[in-house]
Amino acid sequence: MNADPTPRAIPSAEATDYPVWLIMSGKFHDRYHAGPWFSREAAGEHLDAKRHRYPKSAVVYCASGHMSADYRHLCETGKVPDAR
């Protein structure tokens, strides 16, 4: 395990409310592979453990759920809201 996931992490939204970490790849990080995680460390550990499942360009990417009512519901209740 890589103890410091920082080199492959992209802190694009870490300063926002409700940060969420995803495993993304692609030139513009436009290919979603897995997530969300609520800590960078947990996402980095998953990527390290399952690296063989993802492309070489996969990274831990930080996004924000700030404008997402579903994300806030998940944080508050621990449950994914029903599909609408």
Close Cβ partners of 64 (under 8 Å, ≥ 6 residues apart): 13, 16, 17, 18, 19, 20
Close Cβ partners of 51 (under 8 Å, ≥ 6 residues apart): 58
State pTM to two decimals: 0.62
Each of the 84 residues of the chain gets a pLDDT tens digit; together they read 444 444 454 445 555 667 788 999 988 778 889 988 888 899 999 999 999 999 999 999 888 766 667 666 766 777 665 544
Amino acid 13: pLDDT:
54
- The ranges assigned to domains in the chain are 6-77
Amino acid 36: pLDDT:
85
Residue pair 24/62 in contact by the 8 Å Cβ criterion = no
Amino acid 71: pLDDT:
67
Amino acid 65: pLDDT:
66
